[in-house]
Amino acid sequence: MSLAWINQTDFARAVPASAHEVEDALVATCLTAAAQGDTSAYYDLGVAFSTGSHGVDCDMIEAHKWFNLAAVAGHEEAAMCRADVAEEMTAREIAEAQRRAREWLSSTTRRAA
């Protein structure tokens, strides 16, 4: 998972009590960046949910949602990952992922306004 856009030095200074706290902080940072429209954060969240890494459970619906958001924003690798994830999902699960993506966009647009 590529989290190059996260300043690792800042995390080193924080000195969390456990590796689990680091994972939570990485996901929280990604979610904050995603709320600001960061395409890399969308992609990184898709990777985390598709692999069950960084303290989140493997959840293909959430993975598809994040890859979809990244792909719509122009992230080419995310489009390929979204297609790979979709191969393991039912039509109903894909529809749910798309609904969640629309809901995310709608809620972040409302917050920005």
Q: Domain of 66? A: 11-112
Q: Report yes or no on 3 lying in a domain.
A: no
Comparison of pLDDT for 46 and 16, the residue scoring more: 46
Mean pLDDT, the chain, rounded, equals 84
Per-residue confidence (pLDDT) for residue 113, from 0 to 100: 55
- pLDDT at 111 exceeding the cut of 70: no
Q: Report yes or no on 1 lying in a domain.
A: no
> How many domains are there within the chain?
1
Q: Report yes or no on 39 lying in a domain.
A: yes
Per-residue confidence (pLDDT) for residue 61, from 0 to 100: 98
Tell me if the pTM is above 0.85.
no
Comparison of pLDDT for 21 and 65, the residue scoring more: 65
Q: Report yes or no on 5 lying in a domain.
A: no
Q: Report yes or no on 38 lying in a domain.
A: yes
Secondary structure (DSSP) of 8-68: HHHHHHH--SSHHHHHHHHHHHHHHHHHTT-HHHHHHHHHHHHHT-TT----HHHHHHHHH
Comparison of pLDDT for 63 and 7, the residue scoring more: 63
